Every structure is written in structure tokens, then in C-alpha cells.
Amino acid sequence: MTNPAIKRIVTNVVKSPEDKREYRGLELSNEIRVLLIHDPTTDKSSAALDVHTGSLADPKDIPGLAHFCEHMLFLGTKKYPKENEYNQFLSEHAGSSNAFTSGENTNYYFDVSNEHLEGALNRFAQFFLCPLFDASCKDREVNAVESEHEKNLMNDAWRLFQLEKSTGNPEHRFSSFGTGNKFTLETRPAEMGIDVRQELLKFHSANYSSNLMALCVLGRESLDELTDLVVKLFAEVENKYVPVHEYTDHPFQEEHLKQLYKVVPIKDIRNLYVTFPIPDLQKYYKSNPGHYLGHLIGHEGPGSLLSELKCKGWVNTLVGGQKEGAKGFMFFIINVDLTEEGLVHVEDIILHMFQYIAKLRTEGPQEWVFQECKDLNAMAFRFKDKERPRGYTSKLAGLLHYYPIEEVLAAEYLLEEFRADLIEMVLQKLTPATVRVAVVSKSFDGKTDRSEKWYGTQYKQEAINPDVIQKWLDADLNGKFKLPVKNEFIPTNFEIFHLENDTATFPCLIKDTAMSKVWFKQDDKFFLPKACLNFEFFSPFAYVDPLHCNMAYLYLELLKDSLNEYAYAAELAGLNYDLQNTIYGMYLSVKGYNDKQHIILKKIMEKMVTFEIDDKRFEIIKEAYMRSLNNFRAEQPHQHAMYYLRLLMTEVAWTKEELKEALEDVTLVRLKAFIPQLLSRLHIEALLQGNITKQTSLSMIQMVEDILIEHAHTKPLLPSQLTRYREVQLPDRGWFVYQQRNEVHNNCGIEIYYQTDMQNTHENMLLELFLSNYFRAMLQHAADQRTIRLYCVQWSTTSKWHSRTTFYHPVGKTSQLPGK
């Protein structure tokens, strides 16, 4: 293939052995890096373009300009000047689009029905060739950015991220306010005599260069057809030869280290964040020393840092590992949540962290640990699940900036080089001399003296006492800490079972008794050594009243807590479980590699009927549950809308207030008495599907029944007890409004609910068509008005077949809904 627009063709893209798609890499003459994906079975086509510039490139006087550029870019081009042409085309052809701006990247992506990839890609390409940045749209998009900021304003994650940035070097671009708002994009520029649209044009001209762009396109078309399409549409994007900015200085310098930040959150949360500045490790991706250390420091098995801190009653969870910064710098973090007792032992918790780090230095880098990580990653890459087109192209477009095209699919998985020197280098950076500590708690309310500029987060900054630093420097070895043992859950048998003669298209019922009903479906599509085991345990005692609901919740939380050390190794080996209470009883799922699923299933069931509740863990988890109930008041308005609709339409549902009031009556003695009652009578409904045989499925359900009968003396429910809660039927042509005030967020959430008749295939199809058209009208209306900012739009069709649509708009601004 000879084409002057193509500089290089890459045909040897490393892919998973189980990946049936075909790949081709291109580097165009204008230096756009391209990955093409031919997938003849995809249900939708997709494309994404990532520009290697983001909010870190904002002019100092106009924070949020990169984000604003992302908003403005899609509002008309010279070839397609109609403002909503792109989104209208997508919505008319089963498509959708989105974009995001991060510190170093701006990512644009869409999906569309397979027949219309070329039309969508044509419109998409114009944004990078000839955008209009129509001045008439500026004010509306400023309002959209402001509305987005309002959504995040009372979100603790956004507030803490900005506080971390704001407390570093103020001259470093990392300290910037990336989202922007009306003040930064309109009010202040007007006061300073700055024309924001002109600055936007300058920003786009300076940063949107083809050599900073990476494109990924997925479709049913052949690789040659996709190549021709991309060359035709993107070869003319201008190359301005803009260099990728690299930061030679870390945003955390000497004066920003050995500092303690006491922070007041919005929700009632207690967290400890320990951060170390480290160099950029991205170029070492084949040895990944940060991953090695994160694997050990963040381990949750016996002898781990978390295990000891939980035993002390100070924390419940721990996350450790490297965190991205930008080209030139990174961070290493160790974050834990704190119990009430843990809040007064912060110095001791950090001492334990340095004791564990001292253990790692003493033991030295272990090649067997690296090899285990390497084997786990290689297995995950070999058998990775097929990704959805839109998310896949978006991710790959971003990765093309960081890895060779040949390795872009595999680079995040494959470890090749054990580099003890790099591991030791990073370890040397994790010292008390370079630490930053943030403690987040409501207990600091009224005891702070500073307010973060953009979110108003209240905090107090103190230098860590030199005596405390010295105590951490003198951290000796703690005999409780051990390196992990070799992981026995790593699967060794990847055999794909032959399809049984009577393989059905849909799950079939293979057992139906008083104790259990079992559905089975052997995988005949993906042929991966994985299975999904799903069990619902029906119990009449699980949701009798708020008290029983609380006890069911606490029972399962304590059960999962007691399983954590054991199950963590399975999780690392790609074998996950989920266990939660429901309005009917309990739901258990075990998913992942089928080789050793039966082992963890047996362990879960045995633990379910035999474990003894630890007094201290009961009090800790009960207190955390009470805080979570209280924190619901600070959830987003759209979540409140969904919650209240469920309360209104469900036959039986307990409110957060009812659960809080009843929680006071839950004692350890009462909970211990409740567990055998809960397990005394059950009915099990199960669906087992994947790389599994009918006989194995029956053996598993028999094992589950045997354990329950032997240890809990479980008996089956009576047929009359197997009932489902009903949904409230609305009168024909009825129209009702229910309103509640959200006390925390300055947004509105609206959920519209339409109830239709009992389902049948023809009417379901008509309903889906109606919803698609309704959704398109809503998007168009929102785009036209721009006083509404759509953050979340959903619809669903369930038992009584209804549609659900959720969206925000700022308080004080209203707009008539389409069709009303």
C-alpha cells in the first residue's frame, strides 16, 4: 500500500490470543497516530480522537479554557455549520457521543450504527479541521461549564483533588483549576478586558496540532476500507509541530513536604491520605516498579499492612500504589479509611506504614513476586473480556500517546523486565522526609483557618512535628508483617468444555425442587475459561421490617469482612465474588476463571453458616453503616429522585430514616440470634452459565444445599412464601408530582416515569422506538435551551414496562419538558 499521506503502517500489533478482531496501526504523514480495528461482529461502530493537551495547558488567567474548548468544539464546522448537526446525526442512527478533559488529554468519542460510520466520522473529523467556535454559543456553553462545576461543587472527591493541587507549588501548572466556571470564563476575563473567544481561538491554534492527536476507529469495514476512510478525512489536519510539554519540576517541593492537612468534608467520612512525590515511571512500563510496590503495600492477605491495621481496629480498607501526575512527575499514595479509634491513632497508622516499607527494604525486591504479577497480568491479557466499542476506542486513543503502536493493546498488561534497581529507587522515595499527610474528618469542623479558593473546602495546614518525623524515620521492623505467600488461586486448567448435545439458546431449568430452582446455560459464544455463578437465597425474615433489613445488611457486611484476607488472593487471580442483602433475602455471585470457583464458593458457604462475629468489628461496621445512611442526604439530586420514585412505586420499601431509627436497636446479641433464624428456611434460585457443564452445575448447587442443611439445618420455604412484591399501578391518564428538597447540592434532579401495560414482544419494540425518539427530542431540547445541562440520561424497561429519564438543571432555571 503506497500512499503519501501514510508515513508508516504497523501490522504486527500484539493482541490477546483470544481476540478475534483484526488490528492495523498507522502513522500519517501529519504525525497522527492511528489504530484501526476490524470487528465483523460488532453491534456498533465507534471512533475516538485524543488530543495530547488538557487543562494543564490553560492560560494562567483563564482556568478551564481547555475544558471550555472541549464544549465549544462540537458546535458547528465550516462543512456542517448547523450547531447540532453531529449529535442529531448520531441520535438518528442509534449513536451517542461524549468527551472529557483531563490534565494532559482531551478525549472525544462516539458510537453509531454500523451502516453510518462514514457519515459520523466525516462530521467528527471536521471538528479537527474547521471548527467554527460560533460566538453565539459562547454564553450558553459558559453556563454549561458553570452547571458542571455546580454539580461537582459539593462532591468530596473533586474537593479533595483540587485541595491537593492547590497546596502544591502555586507556580506549577498542576495547581490550576481545570474545570473552570462562569467566573473564570466570563466574569473575571470581562473585568480584565480579555476576549475569551479570541483566547479560545489562540488556545486551539496553539494546541490542536495533528502531531498531538491519536485516533482509534472500530468498525465492520475491512482494514483497507478503514485506512482509506481515515486517510481521506484526517490526512489534512494541520501539523503545527507542537512539542509535548514535560515538567522538569515536581509540584511538591521541599516546602510542601512534611505537611499535615486537616480537612472538613461534606459527607461524614474519615480518611487518611499519605502521599509521596516520585518521578515519572511511565517509561519503565515493561518493569513497572510502582505496580510491584503497590501490589505489596496494598495487599490484603495475612501478614499485610491492612491486616494489622484492621486487627488494631483503626482502619477498614487500604489502597496503595502509584498515581498518575503528568509527563515528568507522579505520586505514590497509601490511603485508608479511619475508624473512630483510628482517627486518634493517625501517627501510629503512619508508623505502621513506614514499618512495612522498612520490611520491604530489608527483604529486598523479590523476583518471585514480580513473576507472579507477570503471570497474573499475562493471564488477564490472554483471557480478557471483549470491551464495548465506545469505551474501547476512547481508552486506546489515549494510550497511543504513551506506548508504541505495536504494544498499545498489551502494554498495560505485560511485564517483561524484573528491575530490582528501579524498585529500590522508588522505595527510597517513600520516606518521612518527603511525606504529605491529609486527614479528612467532620471532627475538624470549626477548627480550621483556611478555605480552598475554588470549592471552599475548609482546612488547616500544619508542619508535622519534627519529633514525629524522627519517630517515623526510626521505624523498626514489625514482626506481624509478612510478605504474601504464593497465590494458590491462580488457575492452571484453562480447558474449554465441549458443548453438550442439548445446548440451548437460552438458560434452561435443570433442577426444580422445594429447596432450589437451578437454571443452566453453557457458553457457546465466547469460549473463555470463565463462568458466572449467581444465587439468590429467598428468606421471609430478610425484609420483614427495618430492623431485620439492617440485621441482614450487617450480617453480610461482617461476613465479607471476615472473608477478606482469604478472598483477596482469589480476587488477584481473577476470581471475584459479590454478596449483598436484597428485599427478598441474599444475593451471591462468583465470577471469573472456572478452574477454582468451587473452592471459593465452598469457603463462602461454610463461612456463611459457621463464622463467629467479632465484637470490635461489629461496632466498627455498624458505625460505618450509620454514617452511610446519614450521608445519603449528600448524594446527587438525580440519585434522590430515583430513590423517592422507588419508595413511591414499590409495595414494600424502608426509608433511610426508618433504617436509621431501627439501627439503634441492633445489638450483637440480637444479630447473633437473627442469623440462624435467617438461614432456617430458604429457597435458592440459581443461574450458572459459562464454561461449565450441567453435571458440575448440579454438583455445585448440591454442595450449597448440603452445607446449609448440615450446619444451619435449613429447610425449604413453603410455596406460599415464594411471593414477589408488587408495583403500584397508576390510574390511566394519571399525572402525579412528588417533590423533595436536596439540602446539599445546588442542582435539581428530575425523574419522569411512564407506566405502560403488561409486556409482549411487539409492544416492547414499539416502546423502545418511542423511547429512542423521546430521548432524541430531549437531547435536542437541552441543546437548544442550554439552560438545562444533561449529566445523566437513563431509560429502562422492566416488569410493567416503563421509561425512566433523569437529568439535571441548575436551581432557579426551568424549562418545559418535551411532550409536556
Residue 740 gets which letter from DSSP?
A: -
Distance CA 360, CA 334 (A): 15
Residues 6+ apart with CB under 8 A from 275: 164, 252, 323, 331, 332, 333, 435, 436, 437, 438
Instruction: Give the amino acid at 748.
Output: C
- Contact by Cβ (8 Å): 371, 420: no
Catalytic residue, candidates 18, 22, 27, 70 = 70
Nearest CA-CA partner of 516 in 710, 697, 726, 695: 697
Nearest CA-CA partner of 639 in 91, 95, 154: 154
Strand partners, 97: 110
Q: What is the CA radius of gyration of the chain?
A: 28
Q: With both helix axes pointing from N to C terminus, report the angle between 656-663 and 615-631 in degrees, rounded to the nearest 10.
A: 150
Nearest CA-CA partner of 478 in 605, 311, 674: 311
- Contact by Cβ (8 Å): 488, 348: no
| Farthest CA pair distance, the chain | 80
Residue 374 C-alpha cell reads as: 507477570
Nearest CA-CA partner of 564 in 579, 549, 554: 579
Coil, helix or strand for 78? coil
Give Cα 643 to chain centroid, integer Å.
Answer: 21
Active site includes 70? yes
Residue 312 C-alpha cell reads as: 488494631
Nearest CA-CA partner of 58 in 194, 164, 154: 194
- Contact by Cβ (8 Å): 625, 552: no
Distance CA 146, CA 680 (A): 55
Query: Rounded to 5, what percent of the chain is helix, strand, coil?
Result: 40, 20, 40
What stretches of 573-667 show up as alpha helix (H) in DSSP?
597-610, 615-631, 637-649, 656-663
Pick left, alpha or beta for residue 580 (phi over 0 → left; psi -120 to 50 → alpha; otherwise beta).
Answer: beta
Q: With both helix axes pointing from N to C terminus, report the angle between 597-610 and 694-712 in degrees, rounded to the nearest 10.
A: 20
Distance CA 254, CA 812 (A): 46
Distance CA 541, CA 677 (A): 7
Q: Which residue has the cell 475538624?
A: 444
Residue 77 gets which letter from DSSP?
A: B
Element (H, E) at 294: helix 289-297
Pick left, alpha or beta for residue 364 (phi over 0 → left; psi -120 to 50 → alpha; otherwise beta).
Answer: left
Residue 243 gets which letter from DSSP?
A: P
Listed in order, strand segments (DSSP E) in 192-249 are 213-219
Residue 349 C-alpha cell reads as: 497508622
Q: Which residue has the cell 452459565?
A: 689
Strand pairing class (530-538; 516-522):
unpaired
Distance CA 520, CA 94 (A): 33
Residue 804 C-alpha cell reads as: 425512566
Strand pairing class (458-463; 259-263):
antiparallel
- DSSP per position, 96-145: EEEEEE-SS-EEEEEEE-GGGHHHHHHHHHHTTT-B---GGGHHHHHHHH
Strand partners, 24: 36
> In this structure, what is the dihedral angle of CA atoms 605, 606, 610, 613, given to the nearest 10 degrees?
-60
Residues labelled as active-site residues: 70
